[in-house]
Amino acid sequence: MPTPPIHGVPTSITAFADFFPQGPINQPTPVASFSQFLKVFGPLDTRSEAGFHIQQFFLNGGTAALILNTGAAPLSPASLAPLKQPGLFSLLCLPSTATLSATPMLAVMQAAQILCQANRAFYLADIPPSSVIATPAAIETWFSTSNLDLSSSSAVYYPRLTLPNPLAHGQPHEIGTSGTAAGIYARMDANRGISHAPAGLEATFLGGATPVFAIDDTTNGHLNTLGINAIRTFPGKGTVLWGSRTTRGADTFADEYKYVPVRRLALFIESSVITSLLWTAVEPDTETLWAAIRATVSNFLLMLFRMGSFQGAMPSQAFFVKCDASTTTQQDVFANRVNILIGFAPLRPAEFLILKITLPTG
């Protein structure tokens, strides 16, 4: 049976939630440039941490943002409710979380991880100010109590950043890392693809922000083993994202989603397949449908293989798709659902990673 092809979903639409001095409240609003953001949500404001992040996002390569004005109340888990829609965004930044006290901060971060898991998105978490986290030992302690390591759909960077504040005659202004990192993710996605790590000498800062303080090789290596990514400045190279681990990236976990590009590639494949196969909901759950699904998904993965997204010298070494009587039982057929198993070999030494996707049928 002829079927429409699978189209890759956007990978770098970044949602920002915070207070802004104007603009619609509790209504996610897309903007395509910093000038459009200023026109809709007003000028930079010292009460809005996210405004500076959004500026850095666009300066570093971001092209599509989704702005949620939460109003004057402090950010809370309830503030994120308007974002509960799969496909609405692919990256999440909540800069003002860093300014909350410990208990509300933990609640918002946990809500953000749950939201990203449900939306098949990725959360870039911000750490507290350097006045609170002044040493590598302090970030280690904070991270160990943050519960961020419960999910692989997030990453954290250290240290925070400083940039000239146009609202204070260019005096240094400290901000978190999420907006800058999201812009670099977007630029790297466009230049190299989501399967490549947004890190290294290509992951340069373009917006003038620099780390609050320097990290040496020893500290970098230790934090990396914990799942904390370093931001570093190298002579002649500038400031770069120098790590690419998820918050489940500690060596002790040995998690299959230890690395940011592997987790984001899996989310991308899952979202693209689910979004493009909505037509299965009106088809009978038969071998004809299963064969069509296998062909359509295989063609999509073959395209990714040819783009260099997987390991392997040939497609059979890079991915597989199963959708047959071994994945979809008679009980599944009675329940009007079809199960797909997708395996792929990411760009690192590893066995196949397996995705199980369940779709409704007619």
- Decide if pLDDT at 52 tops 70: yes
Other residues' Cβ atoms within 10 Å of the Cβ of residue 284 = 11
- Decide if pLDDT at 256 tops 60: yes
- Decide if pLDDT at 12 tops 80: yes
Q: Please tell me the predicted confidence (pLDDT) of residue 346.
A: 92
Q: Please tell me the predicted confidence (pLDDT) of residue 352.
A: 77
Q: Please tell me the predicted confidence (pLDDT) of residue 347.
A: 86
Q: Please tell me the predicted confidence (pLDDT) of residue 309.
A: 96
pLDDT tens profile 111-136:
999 999 999 999 999 999 999 998 99
Average pLDDT over residues 294-314: 96
Q: Please tell me the predicted confidence (pLDDT) of residue 3.
A: 85
Split at pLDDT 50, 70, 90, the class of 2 is: confident
User: What distance lies between CA 148 and its chain's CA centroid?
Assistant: 14
Q: Please tell me the predicted confidence (pLDDT) of residue 351.
A: 61
Share of the chain above pLDDT 90, in %: 94
> Whole-angstrom Cα distance, residue 135 to residue 160?
12
- DSSP H helices, the chain, are 34-41, 49-59, 102-119, 136-146, 178-192, 217-226, 260-276, 287-306, 315-318, 330-334
Q: In DSSP terms, which residues pair with 360 in a beta bridge?
A: 337
Q: What pTM did the predictor assign?
A: 0.96
Q: Are 60 and 184 in contact (CB under 8 A)?
A: yes
**Interstrand relation of 154-158 and 353-360 (parallel, antiparallel or unpaired):** unpaired
Q: Please tell me the predicted confidence (pLDDT) of residue 353.
A: 82
- 5: which residues sit within 8 A by CB, 6+ positions away? 276, 296, 299, 300
**Domains present along the chain, CATH in parentheses:** 14-261 (3.40.50.11780), 277-360 (3.30.360)
Q: Please tell me the predicted confidence (pLDDT) of residue 189.
A: 97
Mean pLDDT of the chain: 95
